[in-house]
Amino acid sequence: MAYCTNCLDGPFDASGVVMRWGDPDGGAFLVSGQVWGESNLIGRPAIFDMPVGKGHVVAFNFNPLHRDLNRGDQRLLWNAIINWRQILQRKPASP
């Protein structure tokens, strides 16, 4: 396990991180609208894929079905549901 300076205190296993908040190159976090506390989100995990037993848990740090506020977020959830076989074939990253 590695320690992540952008995460909560304690050990953090980054092998299951699928997507992080923000642009790693420092691009704009928000194009239009409002956001509060973006400095608390940038660099933190947004989607996890963690093996559990014989399966996987795909966890979102946001609600991809929340009232169509972010058009297209629901596609991330549908992608995980439709492609479950590929998710199960994914090999865990070496520590």
Averages of pLDDT over each 10 residues, the chain, 95 residues: 50 80 85 83 87 85 76 81 80 57
Q: How many domains does the chain have?
A: 1
Contacts of 87 (CB under 8 A, 6+ apart): 49, 56, 58, 80
What is the 8-class DSSP label of residue 81? H
Residue 65 in domain: yes
In a domain, 19, yes or no: yes
22 within domain boundaries: yes
Residue 8: per-residue pLDDT: 54
The boundaries of the domain holding residue 41 are 2-89
> pTM of the prediction?
0.66
